A and B are shown apart, each in its own frame.
Chain A
Amino acid sequence: MTTVETATGTTKTMVLNMGPQHPSTHGVLRVLLELDGETVIRAVPDLGYLHTGIEKSCEDKTYSQAITLTDRMDYLNPLGNNLVYCLAVEKLLGLEVPKRAQYVRVLLVELQRISSHLVWLGTHAIDLGAMSVFLYCFREREEILKIFEMFAGQRMMTSYIRIGGIALEPPAGWRAAVDRFLKMMPSRIDEYESLLTGNRIWMGRTKGVGYISAEDAVALSMTGPTLRAAGIAYDNRKMFPYSSYEEFEFDVPTRTDSDCFARYMIRVAEMRQSLNIVRQAMAKITHEGPIRTDAPGIVPPAREKMKTEMEALIYHFKIFTEGFSPPPGETFVTVESPRGELGCFIASDGSPKPLRAHFRSPSYINLQALPKLVTGQLISDVVACIGTIDIVLGEVDR
Chain B
Amino acid sequence: MISFLNANATIIIYLVKIALLLFIVLTVNAYLTWFERKVVAHMQSRWGPHRVGPHGLLQPLADGAKFLLKEDPTPAGVDKFTYFLAPLMALALALTSIAIIPFGPEPLHIRGRDITLGIADLNIGILALFAITALSVYGVALAGWSSNSKYPLLGGLRSSAQMVSYELALTMSVVGVLLLAGSFNLRDIINAQAHHPERGILGWNVWPQILGFFCFFVAAVAETNRVPFDLPEAESELVAGFHTEYASFKFAMFFIAEYTSMITVSCLCTIMFFGGWLSPFPASWTFTHYLPSVILLPFGLWVIWDGIRYETIFGKIILPGVGAAITAMGAVLIAFPAVNEFIQGPFWLLGKIFVFLFVYVWMRGTLPRFRYDQLMSFGWKLLLPVSIANVVITAFAILMWGAR
Contacts and interface: CB of A to CB of B under 8 A. Distances in A.
A38 interface: yes
A131 interface: yes
A286 interface: no
B345 interface: no
Q: Which of B46, B230, B374 counts the most chain A CB atoms within 10 A?
A: B374
Given A129-B367, A380-B234, A383-B237, A204 B374 contact: yes
Contacts of A201: 228, 367-370, 374
B236 interface: yes
Given A24-B237, A380-B234, A129 B44 contact: no
Interface string A188-217: 000000011001011011000000000000
A379 B153 CA distance: 13
A380 B366 contact: no
Interface stretch (A132-140, A291-299, A323-331): A132-140
B373 interface: yes
B228 A38 contact: no
A145 interface: no
Contact of A136 (B44, B231, B364, B370): B44
A205 B369 contact: yes
Interface of A is mostly: helix
B236 A24 contact: yes
B31 interface: no
A339 B156 CA distance: 36
B220 interface: no
Contacts of A139: 45
A305 interface: no
A380 B155 CA distance: 12
A333 interface: no
B370 A127 contact: no
| Cβ-closest 4 pairs across A and B | A129-B369, A135-B44, A24-B236, A130-B368
Interface of B: 40, 43-46, 150-151, 154, 158, 227-228, 230-231, 234-239, 364-374
25 contacts: A14-B150, A16-B150, A16-B154, A17-B150, A23-B236, A126-B236, A129-B227, A129-B369, A131-B44, A131-B227, A131-B364, A132-B44, A132-B365, A132-B366, A135-B44, A139-B45, A199-B367, A199-B368, A205-B371, A205-B374, A378-B372, A379-B237, A380-B234, A380-B369, A383-B236
Interface of A: 14, 16-17, 22-24, 38, 125-132, 135-136, 139, 195-196, 199, 201-202, 204-205, 378-383
Given A130-B367, A380-B369, 7 more contacts: A127-B236, A131-B364, A132-B44, A199-B367, A201-B374, A205-B368, A205-B370
